[in-house]
Structure 1
Amino acid sequence: MSAVEGPQSPVAASAHALSLELLLQNLPGVVYRCLVDADWTMEFISAGVEKLTGYPPSAFLARPGVNFATLIHPDDRAAAERGVALALQQGRSFQLTYRIRCADGSLKWVYEHGAAPPEGGGRIIEGFIFDYTQLRNANMLVYEQASFLQQARDAIIAMEMNSRITYWNSGAERLYGWSASEARGKKFCELLCENLPAYHAAYETTLTNGEWSGELSHLRRDGVCIETDTRWTLMAADRESGAPQKILVISTDISERKHNEAKIFHLAFFDPLTDLPNRASLLDHLRRALLGSARTRKCGALMFCDLDNFKYLNDSQGHAAGDMLLQAVARRMEHCVREADMVARLGGDEFVILIQPVEDTREGAASQAETVAAKVVAAMAAPFQLAEMMYSVSVSVGVTTMCGTVDTVESTLRQADAAMYQAKACGRNTYRFHDPAVQAAWSARAELENGLRRALRDEEFVLHYQPQLDRSSRVIGAEALLRWRLPNGKLLYPSEFIQALEESGLIIDIGRWVLRTACAELARWQRWPDTAGLTLSVNVSASQFTEPDFVPMLQQIFEETGVQPSSLKLELTESLVVSDFTHTAHTMATLKQRGISFSLDDFGTGYSSLAYLRKLPLDQLKIDHSFMRDVLTDQNDASIVRSIIALGDSLGLQVIAEGVETPGQRQFLSDAGCFIYQGFLYQHALSAEHFTQYARMVH
Structure 2
Amino acid sequence: MLGLEYIHTITLNGTFEELIYILDPIVLAVIISPALYLLVFRPLNQQAVLERQLAEAHSLEADSEIEHLAFFDQLTGLPNRRLLVDRLQHALASSARTGREGALLFLDLDNFKDINDTLGHDIGDLLLQQTAQRLEGCVRKSDTVARLGGDEFMVILEGLRKQPIEAAAIRAKAVGEKILATLSQPYQLGKHEYHSTLSVGVTLFSDLGKSTNELIKRADIAMYQAKKAGRNALIFFNPEMQDVINARASLQGELGKALEKRQFHLYYQIQVDSSHHPLGAEVLIRWIHPERGLVPPDQFIPLAEDTGLILPIGQWVLETACAQLKAWEKDPLTRDFVLAVNVSARQFGQVDFAAQIQATAHRHAVNPRRLKLELTESMSAKNIEGIITIMNTLKAIGIGFSLDDFGTGYSSLQHLKKLPLDQLKIDQSFVRDLAVDSSDNAIVRTIIVMANSLDLDVIAEGVETEEQQQLLMGMGCSRYQGYLFGKPVPIKEFEASLGSFD
One-letter code aligned to 1:525:
W
Name 2:42's counterpart in structure 1.
none
Q: Is the 8 A contact 1:301 1:355 kept in 2?
A: yes
Aligned to 2:88: 286
Distance 1:341 1:583, change over 3 A: closer
For the residue of structure 1 that corresponds to 2:201, the secondary structure is: strand
Please list, as runs of the form range in 1=range in 2, the aligned pairs for 1:552-631 lying within 5 A after superposition.
552-576=355-379, 583-603=386-406, 617-631=420-434
Question: 250, 259, 271: which is aligned to 1:468?
Answer: 271
For residue 74 of structure 2, the aligned residue among 267, 272, 278 is 272
Structure 1 residue 565: Cα displacement: 0.8
Aligned residue number for residue 39 of structure 2:
none
CA contact (8 A) 1:294 1:404 kept: no
Higher relative CO (Cα under 8 Å, sequence separation at least 6) belongs to: 2
SS in 1 for 2:356: helix
Show the counterpart of 2:37: none
The residue that corresponds to 2:156 in the other structure is: 354
Task: Give the Cα–Cα distance (whole angstroms) in 2 for the partners of residues 288 and 437 of structure 1.
Answer: 28
User: How far apart are the structure 2 equivalents of 1:388 and 1:605?
Assistant: 34
Task: Give the conservation status (yes or no) of the 8 Å contact 2:160–2:171.
Answer: no
Across the aligned residues of Structure 1 and Structure 2, the Cα RMSD in angstroms comes to 4.8
**Structure 1 residue 331, shift from structure 2 partner:** 4.7
Q: CA deviation at 1:369?
A: 4.4
2:218 matched residue in structure 1? 415
Number of matched residues?
472
Give the Cα separation in 2 of the matches to 1:482 and 1:695. Answer: 20
Q: 1:384 to 1:559 in 2, by over 3 A?
A: same
For residues 339-387 of structure 1, give each alpha carbon's deviation from its aligned partner in whole angstroms, at most 9, with x where no partner exists. Answer: 5543322101212222346864445654664575466556657766656
Partner of 1:323: 125
Instruction: Note the 1:220-619 alignment, pairs <5 A.
Output: 265-291=67-93, 293-294=95-96, 297-334=99-136, 337-338=139-140, 340-356=142-158, 360-361=162-163, 362=165, 365-366=168-169, 369=172, 373=176, 376=179, 380=183, 393=196, 395-403=198-206, 405-421=208-224, 431-435=234-238, 452-453=255-256, 455=258, 459-470=262-273, 473-501=276-304, 507-528=310-331, 530-542=333-345, 544-545=347-348, 547-576=350-379, 583-603=386-406, 617-619=420-422
Gaps of 5+ in 2: 15-19, 31-47
TM-score normalised over the length of structure 2: 0.72
**2:484 aligned residue:** 681
Q: Which moved more, 1:675-684 or 1:347-356?
A: 675-684
Aligned letter for 2:76? T
Q: What displacement does 1:536 show? A: 0.8
Name the CA distance, whole Å, in 2 between partners of 1:651 and 1:465. Answer: 29
CA contact (8 A) 1:357 1:403 kept: no
Q: Secondary structure at the match of 1:682?
A: coil
- Separation in 2 of the partners of 1:285 and 1:678? 59
Identical counterparts, % of pairs: 46
Counterpart of 1:78?
A: none
- Cα separation, partners in 2 of 1:224 and 1:609, compared to 1, 3 Å: closer
Distance in structure 2 (CA, Å) of the matches to 1:323 and 1:597? 42
Name the aligned partner's letter for residue 304 of structure 1. F
Deviation at 1:481, TM superposition (A): 0.9
Find the aligned partners of 2:272 and 2:77 in 1 and give their Cα distance. 66
Alpha-carbon distance, 1:466 to partner: 1.2
Question: Structure 1 residues 607-616 or 503-512, which shifts more?
Answer: 607-616
From the two aligned structures, give the one with the greater helix fraction: 2
**Shift of the alpha carbon at 1:569?**
1.6
Which residue is 1:244 aligned to? none
Bigger Rg, which one: 1
Q: d(CA) in 2 for partners of 1:279 and 1:575?
A: 35
- 1:274 is paired with a residue whose SS is coil
Q: Deviations over 1:365-413 (max 9, x none)?
A: 5466457546655665776665676766555443322046333323311
* Cα offsets for 1:461-517 (capped at 9, x unmatched): 322111234456554311101222234152133344445555666555543333233
The answer (yes or no) to whether the contact 1:627–1:638 under 8 Å persists in 2 is yes
SS of residue in 2 equivalent to 1:533: coil
Q: Please name the residue that 1:164 is paired with.
A: none
3-state DSSP of counterpart to 1:690: helix
- Asked if the contact 1:290/1:403 (under 8 Å) is kept, the reply is no
CA distance in 2, matches of 1:589, 1:539: 18
Q: Distance in 1 between matches of 2:209 and 2:221?
A: 18
Distance in 2 of aligned mates of 1:380 and 1:606: 26
Seen in structure 2, the aligned counterparts of structure 1 residues 268 and 563 have a Cα distance that, compared at 3 Å, is farther
Residues 598 and 618 of structure 1 are in contact (CA less than 8 Å); yes or no, is this contact kept in structure 2? yes
Contact 1:276 1:344 in 2 (8 A): yes
Residues 373 and 631 of structure 1: CA distance in aligned 2, closer, same or farther (over 3 Å): closer
The C-alpha deviation readout for 1:38-81, integer Å capped at 9, x for no partner, is xxxxxxxxxxxxxxxxxxxxxxxxxxxxxxxxxxxxxxxxxxxx
Q: Aligned partners of 1:696, 1:332: CA distance in 2, in Å?
A: 68
CA apart distance, 1:307: 3.4
- TM-score relative to the length of structure 1: 0.55
> How far apart, in 1, do the equivalents of 2:348 and 2:67 lie?
47
Equivalent-residue separation in structure 1 for 2:61 and 2:499 (angstroms): 82
Deviation, 1:567, is 0.9
Residues 292 and 404, structure 1, Cα contact 8 Å, conserved in 2? no
Q: Distance in 1 between matches of 2:269 and 2:111?
A: 41
Contact 2:358–2:394 (CA<8 Å) still a contact in 1? Answer: no
Residues 282 and 618 of structure 1, relative CA distance in 2, 3 Å threshold: closer
Are the aligned partners of 2:341 and 2:372 in contact in 1 as well (CA < 8 Å)? yes
Shift of 1:662: 3.6
The C-alpha deviation readout for 1:176-212, integer Å capped at 9, x for no partner, is xxx548999xxxxxxxxxxxxxxxxxxxxxxxxxxxx
C-alpha deviations, 1:319-351, integer Å up to 9, x for none?
Answer: 233334434444554465555543322101212
- Residues 325 and 223 (structure 1), Cα distance of their counterparts in 2 relative to 1, 3 Å cut: farther
Superposed CA offset, 1:103-144 (max 9, x none): xxxxxxxxxxxxxxxxxxxxxxxxxxxxxxxxxxxx9xxx9x
The DSSP-based 3-state class of the residue aligned with 1:684 is coil
The within-5 A match list for 1:80-99 is none
Q: Is the CA contact 2:448–2:476 (under 8 Å) kept in the aligned structure 1?
A: yes
Q: Distance in 1 between matches of 2:108 and 2:122?
A: 19
Give the partner amino acid of 1:551. A
Question: Is 2:463–2:484's contact at 8 Å kept on the other side of the alignment?
Answer: yes
- Which amino acid in the other structure matches residue 354 of structure 1? I
In structure 2, how many angstroms separate the alpha carbons of the residues matched to 1:277 and 1:408? 20
Letter in 2 for 1:398: G
Q: In the alignment, which residue of structure 2 is the partner of 1:659?
A: 462
Which residue of 1 is the match for residue 40 of structure 2?
A: none
SS in 1 for 2:360: helix
Instruction: Measure the CA separation in 2 of the matches of 1:487 and 1:474.
Output: 37
For 1:112, the equivalent position in structure 2 comes to none
Amino acid at match of 2:109: L
